[in-house]
Amino acid sequence: MKKWLFLAGCTLSMGVCAQNSPYINKVYEYAPAPGQFVNVMPGVTPEDTETTVLQKVQTAIAGKANGSLVSLGAWGGYIVVGFDHPVNNLPEEVDLKIYGNAMLNASEPGLVMVAQDANANGLPDDAWYELKGSEHDNELTLTDYQVVYHRPASDHLPTPHPTQNQVSDLCYIQWEAANGEKGYLEKNTFHTQDYFPLWIKEDTIVRRGTRLPNNTIDKNGDGTYYATGTYEWGYADNQPNGKDASCVDIDWAVDENGDKTHLSAIDFVKVYTGVLQSNGWTGECSTEIAGIVDLHALKSDHNHTIYNMYIKQMNDNIYIYAEAPAIFVLYDMLGNKVCEEDLQAGENTLKIPAHRKGIFIACIYANHQIHCTQKIHIF
C-alpha cells in the first residue's frame, strides 16, 4: 500500500486585487541556501540569471494568498518581499499570515524578520527586526550563527548510504559553521538536479542569522521514519495553513540585542530557513513559502471572498473538502502533470494514482489561479 505523507488545511482566496492589495507586491531578494528543492521550486535552468529567477519567484507568490511554493533551501536561505502599502501593527491582533506547506509531523520552520522603509527610498535597506517566536529563549537556540556552504567539485564522487538506497550521496554539499560545527547536506534519489543554486557563480554561499534547535526525531531509530515536530508559534512553514499559529504579530519584533521594539507599521518581510538538519532519505529541512497576507488589508477589501479547502489522506484515497468548485492537479517534480480532477463544492474523494512513487506537488486551482499547493511523498 502506498502512503501519502500529508495532512493540510488550506485557505483559498479568490477575487480581484485592488489597490492596497493584501498580498505580496514585490520580491526584492531570493537567496536560497543549497537544498533538494532548489532549482525546482521555482524551476531554474543554467541559462537563468538572478534577474530571471527573481521574475519566476515573483510570478509564483506575488499577487495571491497561496501561490506556488518557493523553497529557501537549507538553513539561512532567505527571501525578502514587500507590499504596496505599509502593514499596520494593530494592538492585540496578528498582522500577517504566511502560507507554507507544513503538515502533521512535517514542519520546516523559518524565522521571520520585518523592516520599515525608514529612509523612504522604497528599498529594504533599513534595520531588520526578528519576530520573537516560541523558541527565542530556548537555550539551544543559537544567535549570530554563520555557515559556509561549498559547491561540490566537478570531479566529486558520491558516497551512497550503505543501507538506505534513497540516499545517493552522504557527503554531497559540505558546510561548516563559524563556531566549528561542520557537516554535509545529503542528496537523495527523489531529486537528482543540482542542489546548489544554478545562477550563483561563486563556489561558496555564506548565510548568517539565528539557528533554531533541531525539530526532527528518528522515530524508529533506523532512519526509516522521520518526524519533524512543530514549534508552538512565531515561525513560517511551521504550523499548517489552517491553524491560527501560521500567523505572526509585528508586536513580537525585537532588535539585534533581543530587546522588544515597537513598530507602528512595516514595509518589508524577510523569511529564512531556521533549522540546519538533514533527515536521511527525506532530505534536509527547507522552509517553503507560497504567499504572505496582510490580514488587515484582507479584512477591509470586500472584493475578496475566503473559501476553506481541507485535504487529508486515508488508505488509498485523498479526501478534499472544497467550499467552492475547483480543480485538483498532481505534478511530478519535473512539472509533468500526473493527474487532474474536478472538485465539486463539498466533499470529494480521489484515488491515489497507481504505480507512482516519489515526491509530488498537489495543486488546487480556481478562477485560473493556483490557490493551494502541497508537497506529497508517495512510497
**Mean pLDDT value across the chain:** 87
- The pLDDT assigned to 144 comes to 96
SS3 content of the chain, % helix, strand, coil (to 5): 5, 45, 50
Q: pTM value?
A: 0.79
3-state secondary structure of 371: strand
> Is pLDDT larger for residue 346 or for residue 263?
263
- Give the integer Cα–Cα distance in Å for 210 and 177: 12
- The pLDDT assigned to 162 comes to 93
- The pLDDT assigned to 16 comes to 33
List the one residue out of 277, 313, 306, 316 whose CA is nearest residue 366.
306
Position 200 pLDDT exceeds 70: yes
- Give the integer Cα–Cα distance in Å for 130 and 108: 18
Residue with cell 529563549: 137
- The pLDDT assigned to 197 comes to 98
Per-residue pLDDT tens digits for 2-18: 334 433 333 333 333 33
Position 368 pLDDT exceeds 70: no
- Give the integer Cα–Cα distance in Å for 72 and 287: 6
- Give the integer Cα–Cα distance in Å for 57 and 289: 11
3-state secondary structure of 252: helix
- Give the integer Cα–Cα distance in Å for 244 and 204: 38
Domain boundaries, the chain: 17-300, 305-378
Percent of the chain at pLDDT > 70 equals 85
Position 277 pLDDT exceeds 60: yes
CATH of 305-378, one of 3.40.50.720, 2.60.40.3080, 2.60.40.1930, 3.40.50.2300: 2.60.40.3080
pLDDT band for position 322 (50/70/90)? confident
- The pLDDT assigned to 315 comes to 65
**What are the cell numbers at 171?**
557527503
Position 374 pLDDT exceeds 50: yes
- Assess contact for 35 and 185: CB atoms under 8 A: yes
**What are the cell numbers at 73?**
533551501
Find all residues with CB under 8 Å of 206, minimum gap 6, and list them: 146, 147, 148, 149
